[in-house]
Amino acid sequence: MVCPRCVCQYQTRNTAVIRLVVSAVLCVLALLVLYMAFLLCLNRGMAIAAGKAGYGQVAYHQQSNDEVMSLWYR
């Protein structure tokens, strides 16, 4: 119960600062989601350009010539 003549200021909050902080957090999250979507599109584009239609596949080819490796084992 609050006294009608009370002029206490301890429970008042600055809603403008709260709105600013929430807006900033939402903007950062939106930018991160857009960046993630860009990276996913870039990854799929690179996979298609490499000849792989699957997502997340790395174009890895095992080295078949032994001449380079034989230098290390002398």
Q: Which comes out higher in pLDDT, residue 8 or 58?
A: 8
Could you write out the DSSP letters of every residue in 12-47? ---HHHHHHHHHHHHHHHHHHHHHHHHHHHHHHHHH
Distance from C-alpha of 8 to C-alpha of 10, rounded to nearest angstrom:
6
> How much is the pTM?
0.51
Over residues 56-61, the mean pLDDT reads: 58
Over residues 5-23, the mean pLDDT reads: 81
Over residues 62-66, the mean pLDDT reads: 66
**Given a cut of 80, is residue 1 above it in pLDDT?**
no
